[in-house]
Structure 1
Amino acid sequence: MRHTRFAAAGAIALVGGLVLSGCAASGDDSNDQITLTFWGTYGNGGNSAQTDVLENELIPAFEKENPGIQVEYVDMPYDGLKQKLTTSAAGGELPDLIRSDIGWVAQFAELGVFKQLDGTMSGFEELADAVYPGTLETTSWNGHYYGIPLNTNTRVLVTNSAALEAAGLSAPPATFDEMKQLAAGLSGTDTYAFADSGLSAWNVMPWIWSAGGDIADADLSTSTGYLNSPESVAGIQLLVDLYKEGQVPNLITGNSGATGTSDGLPSGQYASILDGPWMQDIWAGQYPDFEPVYSAVPAGSGGSISVVGGESLVVTESTAHAEAAYKFLEFSQSETYQLGMAKAGQMSVKPEFAQKQADLVPYFATFADQLETARARLPIPQAGEVDTILNDELVPAFEGDVTVEDALTAAAAKIDELLAADN
């Protein structure tokens, strides 16, 4: 299998009493009409285009292919879905299917809420082999897989062409050294070379990975020796040096009064940012004359590596219709579903659809290329704590109170504690 390794299937322990012991068996009665309940957030932020495609095109297509199975979709606000999932799990009132944020998969898999798919779902390995490797990582926990990537995104470098011209560059910076050249070219101007809105894993891991560093070993047993390696230090040091030169605004250290990246880039206050494909529609509405330039994350000694975002499709342990739910998972990976959602703004998780997707949505092409090497953040239940640790330890390094190496060493020690608790 390409880039994947599946452990032998094992029993899943239902932890903490979140799933009732009286749940129905996973078999389906083929003589009865089955209704699958599907919770998701496609309409988050008033995005009716995605819910329209799902409810009016994709679900009807699935039901036509699978007589006897109906799908009832329940849309929820993004911020409310996790809370609803938590309370409903405690009460044993879960749906069959959930469009889960990738950051929730390990947490709810550990609690026994999401069903293990490898070794359980027939054909899962073939489906998993067909997606971007980084997206598959986001569905893993403790050596198994608890979902299938549904839609994805990543961050690429987005630049303001006028700022590039002012810096004397004809193309966006493709390497760490060229980022330094961009900053040098903007010295003495009112434009920052780069801006970002924090120091979480989402923000800093592209720089660490591209520098050749990492946050932990492959077994997720230790962070020390990886997060504070010379390579990881070099990735953060690039940003710290630019910050000290006045080429990165204090938005990165949490200054709430600084101009946000969505306004700072099109206005020319920032020359470059890292961001995702959703920004295109935002700028089209707010800055209709702005034409963003998309390019790969600047490469260091580790190459050009970004971070994976998106959602996964999971089956809950409490479903009474596992086989029917598996059929919908399989359908979610079809060209019909993946390209149907691409038209509505969701990137496909399958490289084989990259060209057709780019034909539909041209600006997705750079993001699809970046996804070939993009990686997942730590797939552990305490991923939110990792973000807090990174931010808390790195801010003093930007402010000059500690060295980057000392900051990453302190962060690694705290992450070691999380990894020990998870193993």
Structure 2
Amino acid sequence: MKKKNKIFLPMMVALILVSGISSVLASPTDIKLTVWKPSWGIDEKYLVPIFKKFEKSNPGVRIEYLFHPWEGLMERYTTAFMAGHPPDLFYLPDVHYPKLAASGLLAKLDEFFPQDIVKVKKEYMQRWWNSAIYKGHVYGIPYVHVGITLAYNKDLFDEGGIEYPAPMDDPKFSEWTWNKFVEVAQKLTIPEKDQWGYAWAANWAGDAEVWMYCYIWQAGAEIINEEGTGVGFDNKAGLTAFKFMNDLVNTYRVVPDGGMNPKFHDYFYTGHAAIAPFDCYQVTAMVKDYPELNIGITPYAQGPGRNLLDGRGMHANVGFWLMSNRCDYKDIAYKLMKFLTSKEYCEEYINAAGLFGCRKDYEMKIDNPKAQELGKIILAAAERYGHAYPINPHQIEVNPVFYAEVQNMVQQLKTPEQAWKDAVNRINEILKR
């Protein structure tokens, strides 16, 4: 009897183990994957049919999806993880995911799929792939990126007798510098006509830092140092960037409302501003909503920091598909990640959103010819000068501190030196946590 038990018990344990493993590696009858995504407003139209195609080609797999608001984004995900019920797959930008990665909540794709992730990497531009890496591990597959450039009103340039900025590949493009930008903006600022050379603000209703970090990069500094342990603009370049932003508002006076209008783009829409920064999706919408505007697009003017992106760094953050570490069916979930990011299934959705794909074989196709023309310029600029957010779990806390100090400066509550110094000290405190 004892002999039989010695044989029988190990067999039972083995059966239980095999049964458990099969539920993880799976493909029995009913596998449910939950997918969450902040809404772009067109998700039901474009993304749901892609889910259905995946289900059809993978019998037994069900996808439960949630398209949620951007408001309260991190609170939503933090609560889900703390409750032990996070989504299996989800989309987050570079500024958000590192906090989850640092807490060990995301699957390290290079550990679960080491051979395949090497192949997948080859499909993407290195610039965007780099942002998927946190502390040496790959956490996501790049999906989209944006690109902020300068739009200019050709009619106002013509009225002022001013040449348009030269295209990127024109030898005269090198003349488009901070000094030239200021000269043009001053000539096109006519306060008595409520006309301004540059529509810009430090208190935009969205993520205000996206209109400011570019000047740090153009001056030749970084927001956070390479080690991720302290600020990267605690130097002459950082102070130069703060002074330039302040001068645009308070010295050259080319910016309306003292640089404190959260709807500053309205000046450009209504023909009262000659130049303004816009993200790629905003340009697509502007062409449709304001067809009377005669718009040109140019990269940012060159700052003194030519060691970094030739002094023309522009905001171009990246969004990823990510996997929860708690996902029970990682093989199937990874298969869905690759399905969603494949050229066949990502392009139409991304183009409809007015964003750009991260794949090397991405093709931008916008129905509106003018939007297509301008979009190509923005995409080319982003691929040459684009700078994503620093991949740091504290970046999301750094942003409001940075733009709060710029707001203090442009309102003349602090000098540029004091605002810069306080930004450095406050952000260093955050990064020490």
Q: TM-score range by the shorter chain?
A: 0.7 to 0.9
Q: Which one of 164, 171, 175 corresponds to residue 171 of structure 1? A: 164
**Match of residue 265 from structure 1:** 268
CA distance in 2, matches of 1:179, 1:25: 63
RMSD: 2.8
Q: Relative to 1, partners in 2 of residues 1:100 and 1:25: Cα closer, same or farther, differing over 3 Å? A: farther
Asked if the contact 1:196/1:251 (under 8 Å) is kept, the reply is no
Residue 151 of structure 2 aligns to a residue whose secondary structure is strand
Q: Which one of 410, 423, 426 corresponds to residue 411 of structure 1? A: 423
Asked if the contact 2:284/2:354 (under 8 Å) is kept, the reply is no
- Within 5 Å, which residues of 2 pair with 1:100-179? 100-122=92-114, 123-172=116-165, 174-179=176-181
Single out whichever of 316-325 and 188-197 deviates more from structure 2: 188-197
Give the structure with the higher percent helix. Answer: 2
**Match of residue 332 from structure 1:** 340
Q: Which one of 32, 36, 43 corresponds to residue 35 of structure 1? A: 32
Residue 277 of structure 2 aligns to a residue whose secondary structure is strand
CA distance in 2, matches of 1:80, 1:228: 31
Q: CA deviation at 1:221?
A: 2.0
CA distance in 2, matches of 1:415, 1:118: 31
Q: Deviations over 1:52-87 (max 9, x none)?
A: 12112x224434554443433222222255433222
- Within 5 Å, which residues of 2 pair with 1:65-84? 65-84=57-76
Amino acid at match of 2:392: I
1:237 and 2:243 aligned: yes
Q: Deviations over 1:353-384 (max 9, x none)?
A: 34x21576443212221222311223223323
- Within 5 Å, which residues of 2 pair with 1:192-211? 192-198=196-202, 200-211=208-219
Asked if the contact 1:147/1:313 (under 8 Å) is kept, the reply is yes
Q: Relative to 1, partners in 2 of residues 1:91 and 1:283: Cα closer, same or farther, differing over 3 Å? A: same
**Match of residue 247 from structure 1:** 254
Q: Relative to 1, partners in 2 of residues 1:234 and 1:165: Cα closer, same or farther, differing over 3 Å? A: farther
Asked if the contact 2:128/2:358 (under 8 Å) is kept, the reply is no
- Within 5 Å, which residues of 2 pair with 1:214-233? 214-223=222-231, 226-233=232-239
Q: Relative to 1, partners in 2 of residues 1:51 and 1:248: Cα closer, same or farther, differing over 3 Å? A: same
**Match of residue 6 from structure 1:** none
CA distance in 1, matches of 2:303, 2:163: 20
Q: Which has the larger radius of gyration?
A: 2
CA distance in 2, matches of 1:251, 1:106: 35
Q: CA deviation at 1:209?
A: 0.8
Unaligned ranges ≥5, structure 1: 1-22
Amino acid at match of 1:235: A
CA distance in 1, matches of 2:162, 2:241: 22
Asked if the contact 1:195/1:251 (under 8 Å) is kept, the reply is no
Q: Deviations over 1:290-325 (max 9, x none)?
A: 243222122223222111235321111221111111
Asked if the contact 2:152/2:297 (under 8 Å) is kept, the reply is yes
Residue 156 of structure 1 aligns to a residue whose secondary structure is strand
- Within 5 Å, which residues of 2 pair with 1:85-104? 85-104=77-96
**Match of residue 18 from structure 1:** none
Amino acid at match of 2:117: F
CA distance in 2, matches of 1:196, 1:41: 27
CA distance in 2, matches of 1:359, 1:388: 34
Q: Relative to 1, partners in 2 of residues 1:376 and 1:331: Cα closer, same or farther, differing over 3 Å? A: same
Asked if the contact 2:284/2:375 (under 8 Å) is kept, the reply is no
Q: Relative to 1, partners in 2 of residues 1:105 and 1:232: Cα closer, same or farther, differing over 3 Å? A: same
**Match of residue 14 from structure 1:** none
- Within 5 Å, which residues of 2 pair with 1:365-376? 365-372=376-383, 373-376=385-388
Amino acid at match of 1:274: P
Q: Which one of 345, 349, 355 corresponds to residue 341 of structure 1? A: 349
Q: CA deviation at 1:218?
A: 1.2
Q: Which one of 378, 387, 394 corresponds to residue 406 of structure 2? A: 394
**Match of residue 282 from structure 1:** 285
TM-score where L is the length of structure 2: 0.80
Asked if the contact 2:98/2:134 (under 8 Å) is kept, the reply is yes
CA distance in 2, matches of 1:66, 1:59: 10
CA distance in 1, matches of 2:209, 2:390: 9
CA distance in 1, matches of 2:164, 2:120: 38
Q: Relative to 1, partners in 2 of residues 1:351 and 1:405: Cα closer, same or farther, differing over 3 Å? A: farther
Q: Relative to 1, partners in 2 of residues 1:113 and 1:375: Cα closer, same or farther, differing over 3 Å? A: same
Q: CA deviation at 1:153?
A: 0.8
Q: Relative to 1, partners in 2 of residues 1:70 and 1:169: Cα closer, same or farther, differing over 3 Å? A: farther
Unaligned ranges ≥5, structure 2: 1-19, 167-175
